[in-house]
Structure 1
């Protein structure tokens, strides 16, 4: 079922590999001309424009953008007990991991009388986005809210698209997850108009102020992503999320049932989702194809999964050795990378580029999506070569505090002047020497 790319016996560099390996093609720039008028309209007309776009795209017009408190409380009360227990477990595990990411201020004594302190200060107000579309993502609520709360962000607003099925409110499970986390500001708005309202703020239909944010995080569709790109600078963003990806590096010891199930699990997200197997075993590749044929027909979203697995973004890459496979997966830089090989832990330790690495037969990506404790908001499209997933650090800013005494400044003054003159910026040096004139 998977298109095969045979790299056995070929020595290719990272750039050559990236050109050959399967990848979804998503042209964000192609939709910016559609998104820019939305941003302009929301900036100029606020909530009135937001509701017009909501009615056009979501086929519903909420009475207010901000979800009433009683709706959040009702959603929490109405959560299926099994779902609530699972959400609580997911939150507890995410908190345990993210609590250990907290940073402490560090003071370095550079010279006697001269110190530099790095303070870690949280972003003041953050907008968190939980997408709608083909699936419901309460797990994304957890993955965005928990690190922001641990970082100490004081003001959080969660946006999620309104659903006609639920009277113009976000999906009840999304609202219930927000309430479970103590987030009491939820806006029923999605897509590019959500990003615009978060950036510009506005006044709700009942006269309530909707304050703008300093930063937006969370995955969105291509229109929301284009909006984030266009608004970057006015607001901070986490990343530009593309279609989800899984790469599995496996040898002949891997169980084809597990490998096929994991490839299918990501293909379930979207027809553009990427599922890539990298292996040195043609026997495993053949067995995985057989398993895919068997398992796909037994899934709920057969058509969607089949299209994703047949797409040019998915495939099976044959390599000569597991070490060659490591070069391939490092060039690919998958959002999710599974290692299913002999001594998987040692192989995983050699990985340089991945959003998250899942080690061995009992750590499927699905575990990370929900209950591993790790964060599932991860870099896509090869961005794991230079970027990290969402974490407490995402919501913190490092501020250097410089504290020098007169003697410490005097001791280095001549060197400051020399460097200032070398850059033809003499006033920089004079700002130092002016302090020592008698």
Structure 2
């Protein structure tokens, strides 16, 4: 990791730049994949499974027999952990439910709003170098609470043509029955257009690599919504002398091991502390099974020394991290100042991995600075808010002239007449 000591604000953007992917070159690869899936359906998915996953797939949909077999392959310890995580995530997301809103805004004019589930949702669950069964929980639980009518789960198969048993166990636990052996841009295409085996969906959720992200953004141009533009994982840790270097190093590495294009940022109050933490990062990285991935990610990463708390807050908000860990003594004063972050982890004993798995919050979060304008996935992500209005005869007599005046001044005569014709009718009834 590079170390920058009190860099001027003018250098922050360049110093904290995420790993750059050439969007146009990625789209040149993704667009033909999506077109082929649109034209050829299941045939294209099988072809891409052979090309990218190096496996021949006869049956794209996971069978009941495969799910039953997977259930036996998951250890009791892992089942218990998944059940506990499910309880916490469900509890927190169920608390996000809001009652229908109904009010009379003026005499005879009532307005209402209620939440309606998105009918068909697609969940993308990465399964390559790390089979993310936790993502099944993070997406499946709010979809279940919202009451989405159809849930489709796509995840890449392993070289034996199978889906990781923990993914299947978790999906079954949540009542997800349509599980497709497809990954990458082709999976997004299948959910966007629909194929013989894969139902078309209204909204696609889930993290993925740069090709999945590009495919999701293309899907938005085809009338399918997405949760957010989400790319490689990232974390920023803000630490002062109250931080424990071993903990901070472990948190940095927990994100670095996600992928070679992940980024971790350390903001420290002193250069001495930064050196302690980076030394610990170096030592811990050697012991990781995924140390090569982590070390590559660390090349994209940076440590910044800022002894001015106000500047540190400004830097955090400018970077807008996906995950923000606050290991500082004055954390309660700091929290209200944080306005750009996907999810915040407070204190020395709140590792980012707790949020990734089981604390209850959602781990599908905005990356690449999108935390400035996007929220992470929540129950709200799976519902639409529909508004209603009802006006009585007396209500229209009071509100009608207001609408007539506004419509006339916007030169929209038909709008005005839609009110006038009713008022004239009511006057004739006297």
The TM tier, using the shorter chain, reads over 0.9
Aligned length in residues = 424
Q: CA deviation at 1:291?
A: 0.9
Q: How far 1:173 moved relative to its partner? A: 1.8
Instruction: Report the Cα offset of residue 26 of structure 1.
Output: 2.8
Match of residue 263, structure 2, among 252, 274, 287: 274
User: Is 1:401 the equivalent of 2:388?
Assistant: yes
SS at match of 1:59: coil
Structure-2 residue corresponding to 1:288: 277
* TM-score, scaled to structure 2: 0.95
1:71 aligns with 2:66: yes
The answer (yes or no) to whether the contact 1:214–1:235 under 8 Å persists in 2 is yes
- Cα shift readout 1:70-90 (whole Å, capped 9, x = no counterpart): 111211222111111111111
Corresponding position of 1:181: 174
* Structure 1 counterpart SS, 2:303: strand
Gap runs ≥5 in structure 1: 205-209
Structure 1 Cα separation of the partners of residues 356 and 369 of structure 2:
19
CA contact (8 A) 2:128 2:158 kept: no
1:343 to 330, 339, 350: 330
1:412-431 equivalences in 2 (<5 Å)? 412-431=399-418
The residue correspondences of 1:29-428 to structure 2 (distance < 5 A) are 29-165=24-160, 168-204=161-197, 210-232=198-220, 233-311=222-300, 314-428=301-415
Which whole-Å CA distance do the structure 1 matches of 2:20 and 2:237 have between them? Answer: 20
Q: Which range moved further: 168-177 or 393-402?
A: 168-177
Q: Does the 8 Å CA contact 1:29/1:226 hold for their aligned counterparts?
A: no
8 Å CA contact 2:408–2:416 kept in 1: the answer is yes
Q: Between 427-436 and 408-417, report the one with greater CA deviation.
A: 408-417
How far apart, in 2, do the equivalents of 1:19 and 1:428 lie?
52
Residue 331 (structure 1) shift: 0.8
- Whether contact under 8 Å (1:79, 1:173) holds in the other structure is yes
Shift of 1:255: 1.1
SS at structure 2 position matched to 1:164: coil
8 Å CA contact retained: 1:245, 1:275: yes
Q: After TM superposition, what 4+ stretches of structure 1 lie above 3 angstroms from structure 2?
A: 16-20
Pairwise CA distance, 1:301: 1.6
CA distance in 2, matches of 1:24, 1:408: 58
Kept after mapping to 1: 8 A contact 2:15/2:302 = no
| More deviation, 406-415/92-101 | 406-415
CA distance in 1 between partners of 2:9 and 2:186 (Å) = 47
1:255–1:46 distance in 2 versus 1, CA, 3 Å: same
- Kept in 1: contact 2:144–2:174 (CA 8 A): no
Superposition deviation, residue 223 in structure 1: 1.4
Structure 2: how far apart are the matches of 1:73 and 1:154?
Answer: 24
1:203 partner SS: coil
